[in-house]
Amino acid sequence: MKKNECKKISAVLLTTALSLSLLNGSALTLSATAEDARDGQEVTEEQTIKDTTEDQTASGTSKEANEFDLPTLGLTVTMPDALMEKMEQGQVIMFTNEIPVEDNSAIQYGYLSWVMAEEMQLDAEDFNFDAMQYAGVLGVYRAELEDSLDELTGCDEHQEVGQSEDGVYKYFLSVNTSADEELVKEIQEIKAEITEMSEYVPYYGEMGEEDTLQPDTSVSAVGEFTTQDINGDTVTQDIFKENKLTMVNVFTTWCSPCVAEMPELEKLYQQMKDRNVGVVGVVLDVLNEKGEIVETDLERAQELVKETGVTYPVILPDQTYLNSRLTSIDAFPETFFVDENGNIVGETYSGSGSLEDWLEVVEKELANVEA
C-alpha cells in the first residue's frame, strides 16, 4: 500500500483558511512559535495563505499578495482576487496531489485542484479522495499523459499553458464545465508562468520503509500542558492517563491524506477502546503566528471533524507544542504513541494508512508497552 503525506511549506504561504498545498520537499512553518523553536531551520511545502509580504524562502516565495512561486511544480501562480476571497472564507478548498514515477526519481504528474467546500461529503461511507469531482485543476504532467487528462483531472476542458524546456512536461489548466459556473470562471482567470522545476525529493513510500521521512524524535515525553479541544473544553496531560496507549495523530485541515484517513482512525478508535487504546488528533492549522486561535480556521476544523464522523478527541497545540514535540514535524499526517505516564513510546509513523495498516501498527506498539 502506498502511503500519502503532505509536506510543509514556507511561512509565506501560511494562512488562515485556504488549503493551498504546494507539493514536495520545500518548507512551511506551523506558526512563528514553532519556527522559532526550530532555530531558523527550513520548514516545508504544503499549506495555506496568510503573511505574503515577508519571508523569502527557497521553497516558495511571495511577490504580490496573490502571486506565488512554486519551484517544485515549476510554476509561478497568480490567483484572481475573487478566488482568493472564496478560499479565505472557506467556501472553496484547494488540494494537491503528486504522483511519482515508479522508481521515485521524478514526478509523473502533480496538480493544484479546487472544489466547493459544500460538495465535500467526507462522511459518506464510499468517500474517495481520488474520485472527488474538482471544479478545476492546474497541473504539470509528463507529455505522454496528455491523452489521459480527462481521467487524471476529472475535467472536460483543458488549456495548455506551457511546457518545460526539455519538453518532458506539459502544463494544463483544466476545468469541469458541469461544476459551479462562477468558480469555473475564476479558475480560468488563474495566471500560470512556467519556471525552472526544482529537483524532485520524494516523500511517498511504503509504511516503514527506510527512506520514509522521519522527524527528530529526541523529545521523550509530552510534558505537562494545558490546552483545549476544538469544542473549547480544557485538556491537560491527564488525557493520556485514560489509556494504556494513545495514538497521537498530528494533522492539518488542508492535507488531503490526513482528512482521508480520519474515518479509518475513527474505526480504529472504536475497535481498540476496550483494550485501553485511545486516539487523539492534534490539528495544527488553527493558530496564527502569535499562537492565537483563528476562528474561521477553528470552524473549518470543527466542520471537518463533523463530516468525517470523528468522535475521538481533537485538540489544539498548547503553548509548548507538547514539550516541543510538535515542532519537529516535516510532513503530515504524522503519528506517534504516548503511554499512560505521558512518555512517547515506540516508533514515529509519517504518512497516512488504512484501518488494517494501523491495526497492525497498534498491535505491535501495544505489545511493546505491555512487555
Bond preceding residue 100 cis, omega within 30 of 0: no
Closest-CA residue to 84 (of 56, 65, 63): 65
Q: Which domains does the chain have, with CATH numbers?
A: 2-205 (no CATH), 214-370 (3.40.30.10)
The 10s digit of each residue's pLDDT in 57-114 is 223 333 456 777 777 788 888 999 999 888 877 788 887 777 778 776 788 998 888 9
At 127, is the secondary structure helix, strand, or coil?
A: coil
**Confidence (pLDDT) at 46:** 33
Average pLDDT (27-52) is 29
Q: What is the CA radius of gyration of the chain?
A: 20
3-class SS of residue 271: helix
pLDDT of residue 277: 97
Please provide the distance, in angstroms rounded to a whole number, between the alpha carbons at the two ends of the chain.
29
Cell digits of residue 126: 464510499
> Do 247 and 282 meet the contact criterion of CB atoms below 8 Å apart?
no
Over 90: is that where the pLDDT of 189 sits? yes
Say if residues 261 and 353 touch (Cβ distance below 8 Å). yes
pTM over 0.95: no
Query: What tens digit of pLDDT does each residue of 117-168 get?
Result: 776 654 445 555 555 678 999 999 999 999 999 999 999 999 999 999 999 9
- Give me the mean pLDDT over the 342-362 stretch: 92
Check residue 200 and report its DSSP letter: P
Query: Tell me, what's the pLDDT at 258?
Result: 86
The answer to whether 364 and 15 have CB atoms below 8 angstroms apart is no
CB-based contact 173:138 (threshold 8 Å): yes
